[in-house]
Amino acid sequence: MSDPAISEPRMKVACITTVRNDRIFLRKWIDYYGGNFGRQALFVIIDGLDETIPQGFDGVNFLHLRHRDWAAEVSNVPLRRVVMEHNRSRAISDLARTLWRYDYDAVIATDVDEFLVADPARHGSLNDFIQGHQVRTSTLSGLGLDVVQHLKSEPAIDPAQPFLAQRRVAVVSNAYTKPVLAFKPVTWGAGLHRVKRRNFHVSPDLFVFHFGMIDYETAMGRANDPNLIAAGWGPHMQRRESLFRMVEAATPVEGAPLFDGFRKRLTWRRRLLAWNKPAPLPGPPVVVIPERLRAVL
């Protein structure tokens, strides 16, 4: 018989990501989300039969899926980036719907380099936030903070150390203000940037940290890979290079006093043909990450 003094969590939470060609992020993703919800709640899609299933992560649920569709595999044509993103979001949406059928109450869906964080000034952890949240919307977005290495003052990242202890600035990003926390079955769009036919709601308590730019060599090491270029990644890599240079030239401002204003602007500033995701902020703003947030990851 269970101890009546120990109550079960009100919400059962699953976390989903996909992995391909990962170098430094999966261990951090498993440690963070597993620390909040337990490894048994983690579902990692290994994107491609040419990838190996990582070892040493007992309890994590790994799913090994084909990277390319049958026609592309037969013709040996690289899978285009847009097609890949749509395939990935459909796989995540389908898996999430299955998990809701098996008694999960909430699903967090992110790229492997994205981390949903509850403001530590208001909540002890992400799990504490979710357990205390009164569900009124199908999804919640966190304010997107794209953490970028400052090339003049910050060395290469040490994956064994906390990431935010090594990085000081971030770009406030509409692209990473994503609806990654869902309380009902939904269908995510490409890149998980929107939920189809649903509105978005930016929570005052949540942040989404994107670490894809946290290390220049990791982010740009394959910029000249002919397979990536053939698959349509060239413009994406050029945008990454431009962002590094913008941060290098910027004078960061303190982010904490501005976050609420950014959330309001991202909520109300939209494009007509993309009404269910935020429009870009002017600038975009380069901010100093508050110390209370740098202690989380």
Rounded to whole angstroms, how far apart are CA atoms 241 and 206? 28
pLDDT at residue 70, as a whole number: 44
DSSP state of 190: G
Rounded to whole angstroms, how far apart are CA atoms 63 and 45? 5
Q: Which of 7-16, 18-27, 92-101 has the lowest mean pLDDT?
A: 7-16
Give φ, ψ of 163 to 5 degrees.
-65, -50
- What is the widest separation between alpha-carbon atoms in the chain? 62
Confidence of residue 7 (pLDDT cuts 50, 70, 90): very low
pLDDT at residue 26, as a whole number: 96
Confidence of residue 20 (pLDDT cuts 50, 70, 90): confident
Rounded to whole angstroms, how far apart are CA atoms 97 and 85? 18
Summary mean pLDDT of the chain: 87
Confidence of residue 160 (pLDDT cuts 50, 70, 90): very high
Bridge partner residues of 244 (DSSP): none
> In this structure, what token pair is assigned to residue 90?
């459909």
> In this structure, what token pair is assigned to residue 14?
């699953």
* CA 248 to mean position of chain CA atoms: 24
Which among 165, 111, 109 is positioned nearest to 140, based on CA atoms? Answer: 109
Confidence of residue 4 (pLDDT cuts 50, 70, 90): very low
pLDDT at residue 272, as a whole number: 83
pTM metric for this prediction: 0.89
Cα-Cα-Cα-Cα dihedral sign, residues 233, 237, 238, 239: positive
pLDDT at residue 35, as a whole number: 96
Cα-Cα-Cα-Cα dihedral sign, residues 224, 233, 117, 109: negative
Q: Calculate mean pLDDT across residues 127-150.
A: 96
